[in-house]
Structure 1
Amino acid sequence: MQRVTNCILIDNDKVLLIKKPRRGWYAIPGGKMEQGETIKESVIREFWEETGLKLIDPSLTGAFTFMIYSSDELVHEWMMFTFMCKASEGELASYCKEGELEWVALDAIHKLPMAEGDRKIFAHVFSSNDMLFGSFSYTEDYELLQMRFDPTTS
């Protein structure tokens, strides 16, 4: 199963996001783990590769399973480990091959186009210090079919 890490970097009441070109949706910077990496090593490397910023002491906030279905058939599944961080060093990259880097005000995130599961992850991270575990089921067009959380969140 593929493993992915990403990080919500908060600085001056803003979050660094990537606007993906395919759908115009906003996403949390991160990417695929490499063989032998810890999840923390992966998130630091992936975040730096996409943004040019080195995370300082990111903390794990959630672990999630994502499943993509075509009709009733599972076609893709992966695990995602989401971190949060409030400090980084370096200079923001002027170019990111994954999309456009953008600092977004915390109070504007709920208005942005994004995967519905990401919206729920943001809501939890900004309202709780607890770890969140969950699973998301989507269609191939990223229409949310089902989500489950432990602990239960609103």
Structure 2
Amino acid sequence: MQRVTNCLIINNQEVLLLKKPRYGWYAMPGGKMEAGESIHESVLREVEEETGLIIDTPQLYSVATMTKASAQSPKDEWLMFTFKTDKFSGELVNETPEGELEWVPISQIDQIPTAPCDRLIHQYILKNDKHLYGSFALGENDQLISYRLNDN
């Protein structure tokens, strides 16, 4: 199982996203957890590595599993922890090997290309400001086959 953390970083009605080369999808800054790392340590490290920003008091908003029957272990199941914050410092990097960083207006979040499960997580967290728990089944090309969402 792969474990990943990511963060919705919000500033003046915009969200910082990373346009990744694969599929041309936008994604939240973040990445794979390292062995022995807490989810909090991971999201702080990953965001700083990808953006140059130091996030402050990120709050956990979503825990989701993604399964992909066509993939080999450990990439056949992912556990994703999504945080949100509007507190950060530092300077945004000009370039990152992960893709292109872009501040996207929250009002346009539904119109940009993203992974289908990310789209549902973005929409839920930004519109409801509640915790979300989900399970997503993905096909060969990461298309969404089915999903279940629960909140509190």
Letter in 2 for 1:67: T
How far, CA to CA, are the matches of 1:75 and 1:44 in structure 2? 23
Letter in 2 for 1:123: Q
Name 2:110's counterpart in structure 1: 110
The answer to whether residue 124 in structure 2 is matched with residue 140 in structure 1 is: no
How far, CA to CA, are the matches of 2:14 and 2:140 in structure 1? 31
SS at 1:37 equivalent = coil
Name 2:129's counterpart in structure 1: 129
Identity %: 48
Which ranges of structure 2 fall in alignment gaps of 5 or more residues?
Answer: none
Q: What is the CA-CA distance between 1:81 and the residue it aligns to?
A: 0.1
Task: Note if contact 2:136-2:144 (Cα within 8 Å) is conserved in structure 1.
Answer: yes
Relative to the length of structure 2, the TM-score reads 0.94
The answer to whether residue 40 in structure 2 is matched with residue 33 in structure 1 is: no
Q: What is the CA-CA distance between 1:150 and the residue it aligns to?
A: 1.3
The correspondence of residues 2-151 of structure 1 with structure 2, limited to 5 A, is 2-70=2-70, 76-151=76-151
CA deviations 1:86-131 (Å, max 9, x no partner) are 0111000111111000000000111001111111101111122321
Relative to the length of structure 1, the TM-score reads 0.93
SS at 1:107 equivalent = helix
Q: What is the CA-CA distance between 1:75 and the residue it aligns to?
A: 6.2
Equivalent pairs, count: 150
Letter in 2 for 1:26: Y
